[in-house]
């Protein structure tokens, strides 16, 4: 862009802003922010020459307030669409956001000398910085959630295998006993980071959208946010969970065999067998766990009159997770039975399908006690998992805060 042209040609500014908007629509996010930054920088450097520092119209058809409205709205539209990148190379990353924050602060400092950091006639620094902060927080949630998910799934996998085999209709010994307790780990690892990232990204975003609700309604906010997070995360978790549990129950020997066998028998929908049962299990679980977790953190912080540390948050997560795990074990048994059921030869229906029918059948044929199969390893696994998972999340969050990779808000 030729800055000298901008000194006398506002049509050039409008042309460049239109390029930005077209680029955003096309998913060229990084390129669009580059153009927008250059336009804004040129405007800031030349604000006096452009007549933006006076009270007179800058040109006959363009008043100062209209100009600033156009520039600011272009920034906000661009920031609202940062996730619309079509290709990996078009994505806006943390280093780009940090650079943009520094640029916005610099532009605001220069424009403040002319009284041009203002909602009616000037640069909307506060709104733009708030949007940048929220984007960094979302990126952080993905990183922290992914790290936490990987830590839990790898460390506690044997307990998960034991729980699955206890819940299988074939029984613990027939399903493998204590042999091959790491069967299916590769599937769990493939889904852990993206699933956890998607959960925390949705959870934090939903909490942010509902932040204006009064404090006495915060437990409802946490329930709703956690439920939304689980529904989103299950889109990733269920396919990997189906493959993992079939490997754990020794229905297949290798990951490739499990994927191929599931696809040939049931098609793509086979990988989503038990999606509804998993969601129905996860929503009550999170509606119990996260309000308890958030309440315990708040109660402890108020009692100590300081911010809670990551290891203390981990203890809160452990207690909350253990309570939720024990109470939702029957739904977990249903999920396991449904996911382990496959179509028989000639398209025969799976042995277990619906949630209510599976609950009643297990209770009728095996007794109510069978609905709590695996409760001990499940409670231990999720109690330790809550400590590691939420502790890792809080620790990564704390580390990124100290490194100033995203701001407090």
Q: Is the pLDDT of residue 290 over 90?
A: no
Q: Is the pLDDT of residue 121 over 90?
A: no
pLDDT at res. 132? 85
CA separation, residue 153 to residues 111, 118, 134, 375 (Å): 51, 50, 28, 18
Q: Is the pLDDT of residue 269 over 90?
A: no
* 364-369 mean pLDDT: 92
Q: Is the pLDDT of residue 187 over 70?
A: yes
pLDDT at res. 60? 45
pLDDT at res. 398? 66
Q: What angle do CA 85, 88, 91 make, to 5 degrees?
A: 50
pLDDT at res. 329? 95
* pLDDT level of residue 65 (50, 70, 90 thresholds): low
pLDDT at res. 376? 94
Q: Is the pLDDT of residue 314 over 70?
A: yes
Radius of gyration of the chain (CA): 27
- Phi and psi at 84, nearest 5°, equal -90, 10
Pairwise CA distance, residues 292 & 367, whole Å: 31
Helix (H, G, I), strand (E, B) or coil at 124: coil
pTM above 0.75, yes or no: no
Q: Is the pLDDT of residue 397 over 70?
A: no
Query: pLDDT over 90 for what percent of the chain?
Result: 15
Give 198's contacts (C-beta < 8 A, 6+ positions apart).
145, 229, 232, 233, 235, 236
153-167, 213-227, 252-266, 343-357: lowest mean pLDDT where?
343-357
46-60, 104-118, 130-144, 261-275: lowest mean pLDDT where?
46-60
Q: Is the pLDDT of residue 143 over 70?
A: no
Q: Is the pLDDT of residue 32 over 80?
A: yes
Best CA proximity match to 342, nearest among 160, 162, 169: 169
pLDDT at res. 331? 93
Region for residue 306 given its phi and psi (left: phi exceeds 0; alpha: psi -120 to 50; beta: otherwise): beta
Q: Is the pLDDT of residue 147 over 60?
A: yes
* 344-373 mean pLDDT: 84
pLDDT at res. 370? 93
Taking only the tens place, the pLDDT of each residue in 11-23 is 778 888 888 988 8
Written as six digits, the tokens of 344 are 């028989």
Is residue 278 a contact partner of residue 335, using CB atoms and an 8 Å limit?
A: yes
pLDDT at res. 407? 42
* 276-291 mean pLDDT: 86
* pLDDT level of residue 197 (50, 70, 90 thresholds): confident
* 243-261 mean pLDDT: 87
For the chain, the average pLDDT equals 81
């Amino acid at each position: 862009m030729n800055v000298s042209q901008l000194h006398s040609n506002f049509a050039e500014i409008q042309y460049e802003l239109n390029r930005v908007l077209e680029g955003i629509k096309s998913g060229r996010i990084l390129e669009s922010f580059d153009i927008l930054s250059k336009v804004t920088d040129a405007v800031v450097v030349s604000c006096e020459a452009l007549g933006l520092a006076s009270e007179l119209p800058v040109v006959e058809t363009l008043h100062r307030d209209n100009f600033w409205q156009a520039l600011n709205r272009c920034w906000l539209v661009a920031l609202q669409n940062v996730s619309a990148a079509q290709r990996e190379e078009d994505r806006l990353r943390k280093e780009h956001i940090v650079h943009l924050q520094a640029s916005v602060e610099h532009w605001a400092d220069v424009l403040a000398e002319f009284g041009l950091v203002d909602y009616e006639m000037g640069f909307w620094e506060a709104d733009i910085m708030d949007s940048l902060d929220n984007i960094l927080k979302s990126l952080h949630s993905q990183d922290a959630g992914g790290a936490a998910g990987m830590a839990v799934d790898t460390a506690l996998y044997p307990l998960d295998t034991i729980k699955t085999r206890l819940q299988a209709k074939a029984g613990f010994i027939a399903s493998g006993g204590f042999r091959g307790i790491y069967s299916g780990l590769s599937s769990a690892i493939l889904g852990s980071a993206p699933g956890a990232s998607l959960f925390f990204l949705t959870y934090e975003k939903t909490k942010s959208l509902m932040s204006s609700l009064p404090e006495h309604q915060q437990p409802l906010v946490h329930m709703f946010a956690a439920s939304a997070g689980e529904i989103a995360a299950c889109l990733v978790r269920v396919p990997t969970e189906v493959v993992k549990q079939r490997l754990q129950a020794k229905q297949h020997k290798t990951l490739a065999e499990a994927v191929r066998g599931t696809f040939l028998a049931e098609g793509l929908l086979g990988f989503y067998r038990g999606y509804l049962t998993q969601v129905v299990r996860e929503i009550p679980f999170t509606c119990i766990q996260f309000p308890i977790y958030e309440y315990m953190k708040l109660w402890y912080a108020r009692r100590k009159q300081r911010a809670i540390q990551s290891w203390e948050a981990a203890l809160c997560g452990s207690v909350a997770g253990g309570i939720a795990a024990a109470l939702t074990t029957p739904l977990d048994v249903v999920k396991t039975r449904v996911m382990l059921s496959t179509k028989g030869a000639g398209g025969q229906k799976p042995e277990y399908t619906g949630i209510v029918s599976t609950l009643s059948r297990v209770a009728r044929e095996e007794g109510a006690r069978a609905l709590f199969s695996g409760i001990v390893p499940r409670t231990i696994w999720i109690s330790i998992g809550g400590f590691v998972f939420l502790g890792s999340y809080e620790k990564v969050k704390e580390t990124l805060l100290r490194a100033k990779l995203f701001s407090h808000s």
